[in-house]
Amino acid sequence: MTETLFLSSDELAGLATPDEYVDAVREGYRQRGEGAPAEPRTKFLPDDPPGMLTTYGAVLPETGAMGGYMYSAGFGARDAWFVTPLFDSESGELLAVLDGAHMNPYKTGAAGAVGADALAREDANSVALIGSGAQARGQLRALATVRDLDTAWVYSPTKEHREKFAGEMDRELDASVAAVASPSAAVEDADIVVTATTASEPVFDGDELDAGTHVTAMGQYHAEKRELDARTIERATYVPDLRKRATTDAGSFLLAMEEGVVDESHIHAELGEVVAGSEEGRTTEEEITVFDSGGTGIETVAAAYLLYERASEKGLGTTVDFSPASEAF
């Protein structure tokens, strides 16, 4: 029998700051860059009712943990539920089961910030956000820990949503955050562009990007949907979270290949390779860079273990007994 900690979303709230999530996730990607195992998501996409059941995992041996996500999204409730099992990477024992709702925007935002920190110009201080939901909030909070942001412009199709986002984040951050009426207005003069949408078609024109811009795309992981157009991919040094994912469900890259503007050799490196220093990131001030973030077990395990340790220190959670397979009969 193994004593496993169940941690609710409410118990996880406030256990870590955005910069602590970023540090944990950066360390996870460093381990990946030095050979830690991680695989892209697998997805089941039923039509009736329409939804998605997905899972992915990673092993972070130096952290001492492994696990990942299993979640459902859509279906009849038109919502999502995230479950994170966290295992000890040496003994294999189940350490914890986390409700991933609170963690999700923070760990995903941390992955975007690690990508921007590795690829954006050091003096980048302005950001364009396309999207105004929880994921956009997570991206901006985390990004503000790796760059000294002066200005953020946000666009989403619903005026009320983008204005509410801008007002809340302007009060929360040192940067000036303002809503704008179009993607073009957001992208113009932005040093960093972040897309956090559910869009199926490109959300801005790649010809509008200034030289030296960094782009983090994190809203799509579907082979036939994309946030970035072929022109953006063509112009950029392209870095995905996992190389294998780029040719599996990274729609922006796959559709750019279909249009004939790039091939697989255009994949510069995985993010972990850049973080670990085995591959270069940005090499010039004029270079356009893209971090294509579809979500992996790397940031999930790194963030979950951080929260598990914090919760254990504070005596949070409910202990549940799990039986090993040897006790099944």
| 115 inside domain | no
pLDDT digits (tens, 9 = 90+) for 239-275: 999 999 999 989 899 999 999 999 999 999 999 999 9
Q: Check whether 156 has a pLDDT greater than 80.
A: yes
Are residue 230 and residue 321 in the same domain, yes or no? no
286: helix, strand or coil: coil
Judgement on whether residues 262 and 154 belong to the same structural domain of the protein: yes
Q: What's the longest Cα–Cα distance across the chain?
A: 65
Residue 18 falls within a domain, yes or no? yes
Whether residue 167 is found in the same domain as residue 258: yes
Are 307 and 285 in a shared domain? no
Q: 139 and 90 share a domain?
A: no
Residue 325: its pLDDT value, please?
85
Q: Is residue 148 part of a domain?
A: yes
Domain range for 180 is 121-292
Segment 32-79, tens digit of pLDDT = 999 999 999 898 888 889 998 999 999 999 999 999 999 898 898 888
Q: Does residue 114 belong to any structural domain of this protein?
A: no
Looking at the fold, whether 310 and 281 belong to one and the same domain comes out as: no
Residues 125 and 93 in one domain: no
Beta bridge partners of 38: 58
The verdict on residue 111 lying in a domain is no
Q: How crowded is residue 123: how many other Cβ atoms within 10 Å of its Cβ?
A: 10
Question: Total structural domains in the chain?
Answer: 2
Residue 290 has pLDDT above 90, yes or no: yes
Helix H or strand E encompassing 170: helix 159-172
Report the chain's mean pLDDT, rounded to a whole number.
94
Is the per-residue pLDDT at 145 higher than 80?
yes
Cα(182)–Cα(286) distance, integer angstroms: 25
Look at phi and psi of residue 78 and say left if phi exceeds 0, alpha if psi is from -120 to 50, else beta. Answer: left
Residue 191 covered by a domain: yes
Distance CA(296)–CA(57), nearest Å, equals 7
Give the pLDDT of residue 244. Answer: 94
Residues 292, 238 contacting (CB under 8 angstroms) = yes
**For the residues 175-188, what does the mean pLDDT come to?**
96
Q: What is the pLDDT of residue 52?
A: 87
d(CA 137, CA 169) in angstroms, rounded, equals 8
Residue 156 CB-half CA count within 13 A: 23
Tell me what pLDDT residue 76 has.
86
Which of 143 and 324 is assigned the larger pLDDT? 143
- Looking at the fold, whether 187 and 306 belong to one and the same domain comes out as no
The C-alpha R_g of the chain, in whole angstroms, comes to 19
pLDDT given at position 235: 96
Residue 264 sits at the vertex; the CA angle it makes with 261 and 267, to the nearest 5 degrees, is 95
Convert 195-206 to b/e letters by CB count within 10 Å (16 or more is b).
bbbebeebbbeb
Tokens of residue 207, six digits: 């010809």
pLDDT at 328 over 90: no
Would you say residue 113 lies in a domain?
no
Confidence of residue 326 (pLDDT cuts 50, 70, 90): confident
Same domain (yes/no): 129, 204: yes
pLDDT band at 198 (very low <50, low <70, confident <90, very high): confident
191: left (phi over 0), alpha (psi -120 to 50) or beta: alpha
Tens of pLDDT, residues 201-227? 999 999 999 999 999 998 777 778 899
> Is the same domain home to 240 and 285?
yes
CB neighbourhood size of 56 (10 A) = 23
Neighbouring-strand partners of residue 168: none
Q: HSE (CB half, 13 Å, CA atoms) of 13?
A: 5
The residue-averaged pLDDT of 90-107 equals 95
**CA–CA separation, 217 and 131 (whole Å):** 11
CATH no. for residue 28?
A: 3.30.1780.10
68: closest CA among 35, 104, 33? 104
Residue 6 CA to residue 316 CA, distance in Å, equals 9
| pTM (predicted TM-score) | 0.95
Neighbours of 258 (CB within 10 A): 12
Q: Does 154 share its domain with 287?
A: yes
User: At 169, which CATH number?
Assistant: 3.40.50.720
- Whether 288 maps to a domain, the answer reads yes
70 shares its domain with 39: yes
